[in-house]
Structure 1
Amino acid sequence: MYYFLRRLGYFKKLIVCFQILLFVSCSGSDDNEKDYVADFEFEVNANIVSFTNASSGDYLYIEWDYGNGETSGAQSNRDYQGTAYYPLKGDYTVTLTVFGPSNKSSDVKTVSKTIQIMADDPDYKPVEEGLVWSDEFDQSAINTENWTFEVGHGDWGWGNNELQYYTDGDNARVENGKLIITAQKVDDNTTTGSYTSARMVTMGKQAFTYGKVEIRAKLPAGRGVWPAIWMLGTNINSVGWPACGEIDIMEYVGYTPNVVHSTVHTTDGSGSNGSGSSMDLETAEEDFHIYGINWTEDEIVFYVDSLENVVHTYAPSIKTANNWPFDKPHFIIINLAVGGTWGGAQGIDNSIFPQTLEVDYVRVYE
């Protein structure tokens, strides 16, 4: 009996030792899971803050919460560098979450830091009520759920004898919360294909009938550039142009600086016979301005910066299919052309390139 009890005590000791070893082993595994450090660096430049991942050790991926309502989603790039926009003065808490190698919910580390924005962005315009769609260009790349690149020279230079070749995204990027379309010179000639640029459309992805459409943009400069922000009827492939209707929210020709143009094209009046007006805008090339339309069943009002600053009003008293194709959906186009029947009417100054059309946002309201 004594021998049995002594053996039983021996086995109990073995069990206790095994439990201790198991505990140490599990604890060691947890320590390995947490063998990494979460950290980041940042630099404040007015209302734009740049972030750099400074985490070290063995981890899988990171996620950012920028403290301004925006998050990054999972980022596996250890050398991640990004930016976030803070339009209003104040303190913001930014949190970086680092996920460890086990990919367990418990295997994470976070680090939070406070950034201080010293002043409101004077160019910031908050989103109004009634917003139905927008692209704020605050992602890392152009959103292909909203936009398609139209590529090539087009028929007859996109119908206007334009000289640029539109690329499949090579001439457009998102940077610091802005869409930037760049027109570049390829050679020293002034012929078809001597320039590259970009033309982006929402056709087949986003289209609208009535409402307020606003685009905040800064325009390029110099003789030969021809940026445009405009709309076409989605039925263009079945009825053709101009029966589909065209709404030129803003056009600009560089040889007449600081004058913006707004025009409507229909079967009753198109091309040089379209219904439109112009407005002097001294800082069109230096500052961002809002180019907009207020489109109802009765009229289309074109304006710059506010509804009180009207460029043109199109409101035929008796509406027909020939003068009012604007009771049907239209899609949005943003492009930067070079040369053409209007943009190149006074030639092209090759010394100005590259030139950029910058867009802060596109917003559509009910």
Structure 2
Amino acid sequence: MLVEKNVSLQPYNTFGIVARAHALVRVRQPDDLLAVAELLAAQRRQIALSPRQRVAPELEPLVLGGGSNIVLTGDVRKLVLKIEIPGRRLVSEDEHGYLIEAGAGEKWHDFVAWTLEQGWPGLENLALIPGTVGAAPVQNIGAYGVELQDRFHSLDAIDLWTGQPLRLNASQCAFGYRDSVFKHHPPHLPDVAGRDSPSSPTLLAAGMGLAGRAVITRVRFWLPKPWKPVLGYADLERQMQTSGIHQPDARQIFDWVVEVRQQKLPNPQEIGNAGSFFKNPTVSPEQCDDIIAREPRIVHYPMPDGSIKLAAGWLIDACGWKGKSMGQAGVYPRQALVLVNLGKGEHSATGGEVMTLAKAIQTSVYERYGIRLEPEPVVV
């Protein structure tokens, strides 16, 4: 395991924020994580922690994939694990579907494009989402009517507490809206011989948190046959009407999604950003009716559980934030849901400026609508 010192993280976060890692390890194969686990075990021994106790927060590594869902507010003193595990393959195929696998370091969009090139449709609605394959289950990414959990089969990970491999199914990942078991910290466990270990199927099935503990190495997806298009979103409906194509194939949907996202969202290589900055909030039907009475044009979608999802971008725009800025952090003029870095290089926005702007937006939306917006990116 090679530990690099004093590494610039500006190229590794899509916001382009200036920050440095005191120590960074490039994880190019699962075995690299075994060396990290040994290092953490040595640190636990130094501070007399039980193997079943949580590592102190300052000792937890920071897992970094594509850096598309993170806001750095300063230099990172934690050990940064830069996940670069490659690989794509068809695991199996039968009359019901395709089982495919990718390394955690693969770029998500490139992987989606590759599946279509092989003739394996099913991920096309998730085109052009930034980040890596390994980060996709953490966030349970989703777009245009499809979430990762809809196509997920299983994943492999390494338990940094024990060095043991894990294989988790969808239930054990505890997927929710932009949520999973990987975003929650595990509880403190009693160190009692013979009880369930932190890696036991019993605890994992109960949705025990894995943040700071398990690192994803490979992810598998199940793409069912026969393929069925998902076209419920207004943007795709407009694409059908404009093109005159009412029975698109998977490649056509892929192209439409790319076109729509490129029109709405800035390219991180040109304007630093982390994509959608806030989650779309959900409210009760009664709350939605109250808002509609005041704002008849509010964009909203009924959910299967009876709640109503509101478009966070619409709420932010209605509060007058589109195109506004604080320091070098701004709200993208074409999509109020996206915060952007208006600076470049050493003069880029700081993480503090980004979060100051985000908090001002949250306050504005809450004061007007009584709704608390929750950020999507991880703030470090």
TM-score normalised per structure 2:
0.27
Q: Rg larger in 1 or in 2?
A: 1
